[in-house]
């Protein structure tokens, strides 16, 4: 099992951007790319994972279980009372981004490092809560047959 922290605000996987370019000969072609904010966060996740993994670790080859707890900052617009309720866990961050987009970002970042292919993830849980300091905690483990 590997557990690690990704300090800072979590970034959900954004949709790829498509641009249409025209060559000098007048030919049109499309080019897709991952938005910079998403790519930067995925690289940050990779770095945090690499610092936490044990020496000699090889990506899991079998079925994998994935858990992420995402802590977002309390909006500045919240009153003192509402802020305290959020920090106490009585109010949850129900606005965008969706948790499935966080999961996609983590899967793409960790593919080839924590596990060979993201299809190996057979169980996943992702939660969002408020906290004073934004961060994400990740736990990955290979499922073993008894």
pLDDT per residue rounded down to tens, the chain (146 residues): 999 999 999 999 877 767 777 888 888 877 676 788 999 999 999 999 999 999 999 999 999 999 999 999 999 999 999 999 999 999 999 999 999 999 999 999 999 999 999 999 999 999 999 999 999 999 999 998 65
| Tokens standing for residue 115 | 């596990």
Prediction pTM value:
0.85
What structural domains does the chain harbor?
A: 2-142 (3.30.1330.70)
| Tokens standing for residue 135 | 């961060």
User: Please, how many CA atoms are within 13 Å of residue 56, restricted to the half-sphere of its CB?
Assistant: 0
Cα(59)–Cα(114) distance, integer angstroms: 5
Chain centroid to CA 6: 9
């Amino acid at each position: 099992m590997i557990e690690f922290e990704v300090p800072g605000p979590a970034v959900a996987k954004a949709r790829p951007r498509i641009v249409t370019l025209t060559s000098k000969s007048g030919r049109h072609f499309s080019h897709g790319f991952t938005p910079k904010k998403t790519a930067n966060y995925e690289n940050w996740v990779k770095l945090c994972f690499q610092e936490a993994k044990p020496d000699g670790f090889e990506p899991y080859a079998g079925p994998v279980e994935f858990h992420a707890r995402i802590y977002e900052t309390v909006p500045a617009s919240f009153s003192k009372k509402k802020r305290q309720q959020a920090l106490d866990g009585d109010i949850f961050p129900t606005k965008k981004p969706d948790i499935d987009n966080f999961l996609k970002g983590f899967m793409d970042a960790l593919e080839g490092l924590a596990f060979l292919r993201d299809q190996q993830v057979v169980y996943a849980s992702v939660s969002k809560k408020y906290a004073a300091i934004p961060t994400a905690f990740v736990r990955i483990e290979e499922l073993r047959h008894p």
